[in-house]
Amino acid sequence: MIKYGVLLACVLSVSLGAKTFPENFLFGAAGASYQIEGAWNEDGKGLSIWDVFTHTSGHIKNGDTGDIACDSYHKYKEDVAILKQLGLKVYRFSISWPRILPNGTPTQINQAGINYYKSLIKELKAAGIEPLVTLYHWDLPQHLLLLGGWMNPRLADYFGDYARIVFKNLGDDVKYWITLNEPGSTCTQGYESGTHAPGLNLTGEAVYQCSYVSLLAHAKAYHIYDTEFREKQGGKITLNLACAWYYPITDTDEDVEAFNRCFDFNCGIYAEPIFKGNWPRRMIDRISERSKLEGYSFSRLPEFTDQEKNLINGTADYISLNMYTSRTVWHISDEPIGTPSLDFDLGIGSGVDSSWPTSAASWLVSDPPGIRYLLNHLKNNYDPSEFIITENGWSDLGGLDDQGRISYWKGYLSNILDAIVDDQINVTGYTAWSLLDNFEWAEGYTQRFGMVEVDFSDPNRTRTLKNSAKWYSKIATTRQIDP
Ligand code: GBH
């Protein structure tokens, strides 16, 4: 008896010592329609801007496309079986707008598209996995681009019609919605640098119009859910935020201001409107002042009407946070006037600390404490009731023994756990980016983010667990880091 008592005491003290993710914390993985589905022209799907962009030469490394990608349109049951095998409890995926509405409008509804997502959700539910669904992860119907894409404020109405159709058909089984994935990426890479579809580089102007229309579209879908579906379906809905963490390189007022400006231009630009009803003050002031000096009679940053402010304010039931990386930042004075540009409006220089490991992607370094600082900063500024980390991950050039990914996730998950336990921040889930190696946008298949390898030279698109998947499965099932 005494022996067992001692043993029990030992076990208890060990488990009391180790920090544990809460019982209801959901571990999972993520993906997005264009990056994994393939079947770009099957079963009545319409063209998206990514179909057109990748089919035009010169845009994507090696001329890669998402025509087949991971073939998840046909192999979704295998994907779900892998999630289940790993013991994961939430899967984040996105819906291809033109698979449901081939030209983006409600004039024609593609039942085969709806059926695909119904089957996927059914398969997930049967495996005890919660779907977390993004309505828009960058694959805009081409027809709507011709109508002006994210430059056209009416896109908010088109998005609302699409969202309503999705809620109506799929909403009974979905508890977590995201309207738009990373509008900042859509707007800067689609309209400022042109590295993503639709490939425009209308610097300093289109990017802000795109942000404005994105917020209107998000708010439209939010209110449709709120007034027409929430009562019956009981889910939560939000806009996805992509935020990095920043360190001012000195503690001078100028560099600390550069830090704040950098945060506002990258993260506050969407967080501030949905939580407080307007753009960050620093953006309003900088861009209107520079616009005036450039001879404009208006600010290149569109102004919200009072009615729009009211519509946008308070449209986040939780924070969906994509977080990957950190930067050091410093102030740059005297950015030239005359060429409208997001970078000049921002007026900062940025770099990385030499101690941060670098990934295969130049923008992505590993600084795990950054996520804990960021969570605290967001909590202090916006006080959301709940956070879900919807993307966080590491890129390499491939291979099953992906130690770099394991140490990256280990570091970030430890800091998330500290934020939960020590800082009392309500993080309720984590969907690692990504479940599968997939089409990494302009990088094609050269960069790999998956915990599962996909053989893109094999017509079967054979999936093989990497070491990170096995490692992550242990974390997810024990709810401890390095049990
Ligand atoms: C996410 O974006 C996407 O949601 C996901 O689809 C993607 O696969 C994943 O990350 C990995 O990339 O101008 O060259 O400095 C990540 C956030 C923000 C990363 C913009 C690239 C600019 C690159 N992205 N960033 S660069």
Q: What is the pLDDT of residues 61-79, one digit of tens each?
A: 999 999 999 999 999 999 9
Tokens 């394991």 label which residue?
A: 406
Q: Which of 68, 70, 31 is nearest to 464 (CA)?
A: 70
Mean pLDDT to the nearest integer, 145-160: 98
Question: pLDDT tens digit string along 282-304?
Answer: 999 999 999 999 999 999 999 99
CA–centroid distance, residue 184 to ligand 1 (Å): 10
The pair of three-digit structure tokens given for residue 409, joined into one six-digit string = 């996730």
For residues 432 and 477, the answer to whether their CB atoms sit within 8 Å is no
CA–centroid distance, residue 181 to ligand 1 (Å): 11
Nearest Cα residue to atom 21 of ligand 1: 363
Indicate if ligand 1 lies below 6 Å from the C-beta of 201. Answer: no
- Burial class from Cβ neighbours inside 10 Å (0-12, 13-18, 19+) for residue 465 reads middle
The pair of three-digit structure tokens given for residue 363, joined into one six-digit string = 């923008």
Indicate if ligand 1 lies below 6 Å from the C-beta of 242. Answer: yes
For residue 353, how many C-alpha atoms fall within 13 Å in the half-sphere facing its CB?
15
Q: What angle do CA 409, 415, 418 make, to 5 degrees?
A: 140
CA–centroid distance, residue 185 to ligand 1 (Å): 7
Cα separation, 150 vs 21, in Å, equals 39
DSSP 58: T
Indicate if ligand 1 lies below 6 Å from the C-beta of 433. Answer: yes
Question: pLDDT tens digit string along 392-425?
Answer: 999 999 999 999 999 999 999 999 999 999 999 9
pLDDT at 15 over 90: no
Sheet holding 348-351, edge to edge: 245-248, 326-331, 348-351
Indicate if ligand 1 lies below 6 Å from the C-beta of 440. Answer: yes
DSSP 139: -
Residues in contact with 6: Cβ distance below 8 Å, sequence separation at least 6, in sequence order = none
The pair of three-digit structure tokens given for residue 294, joined into one six-digit string = 């450039």
Is 205 one of the annotated active-site residues of the chain?
A: no
Give pLDDT, residue 334: 87
pLDDT at 14 over 70: no
| In 86-154, alpha helices (H) | 97-100, 111-126, 142-146
Residue type, position 463, single letter: R
SS (H, E, C) 234-256: CCEEECEEECCEEEECCCCHHHH
- Residue 198: is the preceding peptide bond cis (ω within 30°)? yes
Cα separation, 371 vs 413, in Å, equals 9
Distances (CA, A) of 326 to 183, 244, 255, 320: 19, 5, 16, 18
pLDDT at 9 over 90: no
Catalytic pick among 130, 205, 308, 391:
391
Is 37 one of the annotated active-site residues of the chain?
A: no
CA–centroid distance, residue 393 to ligand 1 (Å): 11
Cα separation, 39 vs 73, in Å, equals 6
Catalytic pick among 37, 130, 182, 192:
182
Question: pLDDT tens digit string along 158-185?
Answer: 999 999 999 999 999 999 999 999 999 9
Task: Return the best residue to mutate from 60, 324, 405 for the ligand 1 pocket (most ligand atoms within 8 A of CB).
Answer: 324
Q: What is the phi/psi pair of residue 465, to 5°?
A: -65, 135
What domains can you pick out in the chain, each with its CATH number?
5-478 (3.20.20.80)
Question: pLDDT tens digit string along 119-129?
Answer: 999 999 999 99
